[in-house]
Every structure is written in structure tokens, then in C-alpha cells.
Structure 1
Amino acid sequence: MDNEDDGHVAATLLILHATGLLTPDHGAKTAIRIALGLFAASAVAGIHARLGLRLPACPAPAGSSPSREG
């Protein structure tokens, strides 16, 4: 088994474990959707990290003032 296969096995186990944890509170269908969404978000973040991309900065909430030191 090579590194790519290890990654597929780890992803499969992650999805199965998340689904098992989420099912009692959300039901099977919703748990599967949440687990797959979390996996997809993780994969996108991994791609961004490998490519050296930065996610856009979040704007400050309306009405907040920048912190001032000094």
C-alpha cells in the first residue's frame, strides 16, 4: 500500500467515524451529508495549504474598532 492508498483509507475512516458520531443527534442521512461536507472542506483546505494559497481575511464586524496598542 502506498501513501496515496493510506490517504484514501484515512479519509474513509474519518467519514465513517464522523457519521457514527453524528447519527444519534442528526439521523443517518444528515450525518452522512455533514461528514462528507467536513471531508470536502478539509480536502479544500489541504489543497490550499499545498499550493501555498491564503484564504481571504475576514472583515471586522460592523461597529468594531481596530485594536490600538501603545
Structure 2
Amino acid sequence: MFRSKKVKKAELDQECLDKIFQLKKEWNYLDDILNRSIEPSESGQFDLAIKKAKYFYLLREAKVRRLSAIK
């Protein structure tokens, strides 16, 4: 019925780390596309800025939570 706080925290920590890695891949992919394009679109640059902002926000959150991908 109820899960302990440690289990919930562990699940949220893992979810946060997974999202960080996913955003990093998406950021690198979009950055590569924009670097290869002759005339990058504004929407592409906007999407890239959003991915970067989300990534750095989650990195700060991971730092506050003292998360590490290396165990």
C-alpha cells in the first residue's frame, strides 16, 4: 500500500539521472544538426536552448540531491 520514503527517493533519484542522460543525448543530437545546417532555423535554436536549460536545471537538482551516476 504505502512505500517507504527511501524507496520513493531512490526511484526519483534514478528517474532524475535517466532524464539527465536523455536530455544530454537530445542536446548533442540537436547541436550536431544545427552545426551541420547551412542556415539553422529559429525553432531549432529555440529547442536547443530549452534542452540546455532543462539539462542544467536537472544537473543542479542532482547536485542538491547529491546524486552520482558512478556508484
> Which TM-score band applies after superposition, normalised by the shorter structure?
0.3 to 0.5
TM-score of the pair, normalised by structure 1:
0.42
TM-score of the pair, normalised by structure 2:
0.42
Determine which structure has more spread, i.e. the larger CA radius of gyration: 1
Does 1 or 2 have the higher relative contact order (CA < 8 Å, sep 6+)? 2
Q: Which has the higher helix share?
A: 2
